[in-house]
Structure 1
């Protein structure tokens, strides 16, 4: 079982994330001081970079791996960015890359839930097929003021997929594992009766330094009645560690 050991595996990833966080905070300070203009400012604070899958990068990665990647060959255990267990056999992460495949295999996944609208890369589809992992894709836009909002209905459908024991172990991911994934996890935490303070603390941990007030508002105002009804009808509550 990979879950009890995942914290040890994440040591190097956590160091990388900490360094990246520090660099981003330094850029933020420079921006506040007026050091960024034009292209630099867009590079540092274009929210769409977190929402949109970089298809050019995916094609490059596929080209690099397709000639020598053999799914049955063991590679170093490298978790995706923002990977963490949510509860039991439900996990979250950013968009997995080919160098994460060996790690994902250790999770013995039955399903992957993708929350982005872009076409799933062919190399990833081949990996899922090879491992007999079912792909669910509910493409949704991230919350962006003032007009773009995550669909409550889609989040409800996503939660139903995640809660269904037949789909577990399951990995939830969007692009960066921050905003759309964070909103869905926030809904799951509400089913666990977490306080909003703790839910928002967890959201900010994964979304930093680009936390979105609209995401937190969505989590707070989400009407949980339909998903609670579904969970109760299927004896899926209480949602707690085994």
Structure 2
């Protein structure tokens, strides 16, 4: 039982940041660890977690945490933007993002840099109408200045075949 002077320490995952924080909450980060769980539960109140990454198996403690908290988990396999079938997998993530029923939502990869950076860049481009220069700048901030030119070209050239339902669209979407 916390005492009167106990301070709860909330530690966000590596590279954590809000992506959208209007009527819905979309976040990005690296792979959450046990030290981040109280932050996720008490601060984010997540309904959905989307892992964009190459690890086929979740860490057992993470799987238990998601199940215990009744957070829907979706794994989108991705090693890089050069993967076969990557456009379809990105569209799968976008379908989740354009459905208000999935919020609040966390998108994460292993370090929260390149793979999540690609998805967030595409969200900025396709759903929000950001300029390519602004997308590149944000990508650079989260990648620690280590821009992957292939990732940036992929974001620039990406064309979505996304179909949406107006009654499920979050207000931030500008389609």
Q: Secondary structure at the match of 2:77?
A: coil
Give the superposition deviation at 1:164. 1.4
Aligned structure 1 segments of 4 or more residues deviating by more than 4 angstroms: 147-150, 232-235
Give the superposition deviation at 1:208. 1.9
Q: 2: distance between equivalents of 1:150 and 1:206?
A: 25
Q: Equivalent residue for 1:99?
A: 35
* Residue 195 to residue 232, structure 1, CA distance change in 2 (3 Å): farther
Q: 2: distance between equivalents of 1:161 and 1:99?
A: 27
TM-score, normalised with respect to structure 1: 0.62
Q: Equivalent residue for 1:116?
A: 53
Q: Deviations over 1:51-90 (max 9, x none)?
A: xxxxxxxxxxxxxxxxxxxxxxx95200111111111310
Give the superposition deviation at 1:210. 2.2
Q: 2: distance between equivalents of 1:210 and 1:102?
A: 31
Does structure 1 conserve the Cα–Cα contact (< 8 Å) formed by 2:112 and 2:142? yes
TM-score, normalised with respect to structure 2: 0.84
Does structure 2 conserve the Cα–Cα contact (< 8 Å) formed by 1:80 and 1:93? yes
Q: Secondary structure at the match of 2:80?
A: coil
Q: 2: distance between equivalents of 1:169 and 1:237?
A: 11
Number of residue pairs matched? 161
Give the superposition deviation at 1:166. 1.0
Does structure 2 conserve the Cα–Cα contact (< 8 Å) formed by 1:141 and 1:150? no
Q: Equivalent residue for 2:101?
A: 166
Q: 2: distance between equivalents of 1:135 and 1:235?
A: 20
Q: 5+ unaligned residues in a row in structure 2: which ranges?
A: 1-6
Q: Equivalent residue for 1:77?
A: 10
Larger % of strand: which? 2
State which of 124, 135, 144 in structure 2 corresponds to 1:199.
135
Q: 1: distance between equivalents of 2:110 and 2:30?
A: 5
Does structure 2 conserve the Cα–Cα contact (< 8 Å) formed by 1:84 and 1:92? yes
Q: Equivalent residue for 1:32?
A: none
Q: 2: distance between equivalents of 1:163 and 1:117?
A: 24
Q: Equivalent residue for 1:156?
A: 91
Does structure 1 conserve the Cα–Cα contact (< 8 Å) formed by 2:100 and 2:170? no
Compare relative contact order (CA 8 Å, sep 6+) and give the higher one, 1 or 2. Answer: 2
Q: Deviations over 1:84-119 (max 9, x none)?
A: 111131000001111000110120000100011311
Q: Equivalent residue for 1:222?
A: 158
State which of 129, 138, 141 in structure 1 corresponds to 2:79.
141
Does structure 2 conserve the Cα–Cα contact (< 8 Å) formed by 1:187 and 1:219? yes
Q: 2: distance between equivalents of 1:223 and 1:196?
A: 14
Larger % of helix: which? 1
